[in-house]
Structure 1
Amino acid sequence: MRYAIRHVTRFDYAQPVGFARCNLRLKPILWSGQVLEDYDLSIEPGGRTSPARAEAGLANVTRLVVDRPSKALTITSRATVSVDRLIPVPASSDPSLAEIALAARESRDAGAASPAAYLFPSPRIPLDPAIGEWCAAELDPARGCLEAAIALAQRIQHEFSFDPTATLVDTPPREAFDRRGGVCQDFAQIMITGLRAAGLPAAYASGYLRTLPPPGQERLVGADATHAWVLLWCGASLGWVGVDPTNGIWMAEDHVVIAIGRDYADIAPIDGVVLGSGAQDMHVSVDVEPLG
């Protein structure tokens, strides 16, 4: 499946801003099952851009500097991405969770995609005994990794309510867990908390969902906005496998990966510093259009 993706972020400032320096993580990464065919980034009213190194995780980072006064800033990212990704099928030959945990601990890979980098708590996803205990019901060490991953994702989908008013971008996982509600970011963070508590390498994936579902299927939650889901490392043979606890499904052709990190802080689409006074409003719109 090929997609045309348009992601627009507009900032409106109460008073002119004299300087802004931002990190943009909007260009989809090269990842298993997807190819970036074309990409364009435009800034209005303008600014200087340069490539930058990702400090953590896997992301294409662009540094933006705006050094002339402005009351508005619009960042438009356009990409054409081809996705050809199979849906995982649990099998009796899958590595067990115990085998995965051991292999991750013994890994000597120091790269950004190393399972060892995603075993431990991170700034926005601390260890939490209550979440760990709740998730442990699906994480028997002897259970196959794929069977356990989809079971936990579907339990979260069934027992938690999608409620955009329940949480904010910086809401801790425990607060969303206690409320049994939130958005895709919350559900991903809750699942990652549980997986890491079991000694399993789990990463936070940010990206997009297709806007239009296939004929006869319901529209997925999270379309028309950036989406978040989970990657579980399933050993050397299976590698990183994506699972979406918001929708209770695997990461497949409907998902486009922008970036991968320990949590949202590693791969926020836009962050940085703005020098000015007064309030600001941010508006985001996303369109994911299937092509052909």
Structure 2
Amino acid sequence: MRIRIRHETTYRYLEPAKSAIQHLRLTPRNFDGQHVKDWRIDVDRDCRLMASEDAFGNIVHRFTADGPFDSITTMVEGDVTTFDTSGVASGTLERFPPELYLRETPLTAPSPAILDFARAAGAREGDALAALHALLAAIYEKMEFDTDATHAATTAAESFDHSKGVCQDFAHLFIACARAIGAPARYVSGYYLRTDGDAQVAGHAWAEAHVPDLGWVGFDPAHGVSPGERHVRLAVALDYLSAAPIRGARAGGAGETMEVKVRVAPTHGQSQSQSQSQ
């Protein structure tokens, strides 16, 4: 499937910012599940984009913009051809052994309740892959998607206690559960081509777990499926903080607000897209 993506992020300030620096993890890499046909990044300020790779092998662009300015907009746009690999993320760039992804972080640390939940969900399954699919189904059944219930710093334990959250929370919870049963797991940021008319947050997130004899396998607990042709993979890390599409800092610029607009659509056939400001 060939998918066209446009992702625009605008920061606005009640008081002009003196300068800003941003790190962008907004460029997908090729692997067996996707091929990037074209991709570009534009910033509406006079700056130079510097490309590099982070410790996980994600493509990172960084820039510094000098003000004063009352807004700054970053836009990425491109075409990606995706392939159905039954959720297996083969051909990816790997910098670390899978065991690194057993490491807990504040966002993914399991509570006693999560440990009990994870062990109960996977206890009846005879192999690692079946246990992970059981976790996927259990989280999808338990959790309610609610854009008002959590925020960027919400932990897996907090969202589990409220049984609500967004795709970021679902991914963190799956990671916590997978690690609890001994499976290395990591966070994945990206995009998803929806088939319905429901509202979509800017971008998407899911998880990958390492399975013996298979390698890294994707699990999308927000939809209860393994990633397929409708998923476009951007970046991986231990949790959201190291895979966030945009992170940065500024001097001045009090009263910051952010607006995000995302459009994900097939390049041929009937258009399917969502756009939301937040």
TM over 0.5, shorter chain: yes
What per-residue deviation string (whole Å, max 9, x for no partner) do you get for residues 183-237 of structure 1?
11111111111111122100111100014x2xxxxx28774621111101112x3
Q: CA deviation at 1:279?
A: 0.7
In structure 1, what is the Cα distance between the partners aligned to 2:157 and 2:145?
Answer: 16
Mean Cα displacement is larger for which, 280-289 or 112-121?
A: 112-121
Which residue matches 2:50? 50
User: Given the alignment of the two structures, is residue 168 of structure 1 paired with residue 151 of structure 2, yes or no?
Assistant: yes
Aligned-partner Cα distance in 2 for 1:150–1:83: 22
Name the residue aligned to 2:67: 68
Secondary structure in 1 aligned to 2:266?
A: strand
Aligned length: 264
Q: 1:50 is matched by which residue type in structure 2?
A: M
Structure 2's unaligned 5+ residue stretches are: 89-93, 269-278
Q: What percent identity do the matched residue pairs reach?
A: 35
Shift of residue 291 of structure 1? 1.6
Residue in 2 that maps onto 1:122: 105
Contact 1:57 1:262 in 2 (8 A): no
Q: In 2 relative to 1, CA 202–283 (structure 1 residues): closer, same or farther, beyond 3 Å? A: same
- Quote how far apart the aligned CAs of 1:141 are: 8.4
2:85 aligns with 86
- The 1:73/1:199 distance shift into structure 2, 3 A limit, reads same
The answer to whether 1:246 aligns with 2:222 is yes
1:19 paired to 2:19: yes
Secondary structure of residue in 1 paired with 2:22: strand
Match 1:262 to one of 233, 238, 242: 238
Task: Return 5+ residue gaps in structure 1 as ranges.
Answer: 90-110, 214-218
TM-superposed deviation, 1:88: 5.3
Counterpart CA distance in 2 for 1:155 and 1:185 is 17
CA RMSD of aligned residues (A): 2.0
Distance 1:178 1:261 in 2: 24
Please state how far the C-alpha of 1:144 moved relative to its aligned partner: 2.3
Quote how far apart the aligned CAs of 1:29 are: 2.1
Moved over 4 A (4+): 220-224
**1:187-198 correspondence to structure 2 within 5 Å:** 187-198=170-181
Displacement of 1:113 in angstroms is 4.8
- 2:111 and 2:32 mapped to 1: Cα distance? 31
Distance change >3 Å, CA 220–CA 144, structure 1 → 2: farther
Give the AA of the match of 2:263.
D
Distance in 2 separating the partners of 1:84 and 1:144: 26
Instruction: Give the structure 2 partner of residue 152 of structure 1.
Output: 135
1:59: which partner in 2? 58
Identify if the C-alpha distance between structure 1 residues 88 and 171 changes in structure 2 by more than 3 Å, giving closer, same or farther: closer
Query: 2:8 and 2:50 mapped to 1: Cα distance?
Result: 19
CA distance in 1: counterparts of 2:127 and 2:57, whole angstroms: 27
Which has the larger displacement, 173-182 or 123-132?
Answer: 123-132
What amino acid maps onto 1:68 in structure 2? G
Q: For the Cα contact (< 8 Å) 1:184–1:222, is it kept in 2?
A: no
Residues 54-73 of structure 1, C-alpha deviations (whole Å, 9 max, x = no match): 1x434110011101311110
1:131–1:177 Cα contact (<8 Å) kept = yes
Deviations, residues 10-37 of structure 1 (Å, cap 9, x unaligned) = 0111111111111000011223311111
Task: Indicate which of 273, 276, 281 corresponds to 2:249.
Answer: 273
Distance 1:184 1:269 in 2: 14
Q: Alignment partner for residue 225 of structure 1, among 186, 202, 227?
A: 202
1:193-212 to 2 correspondences below 5 Å: 193-211=176-194
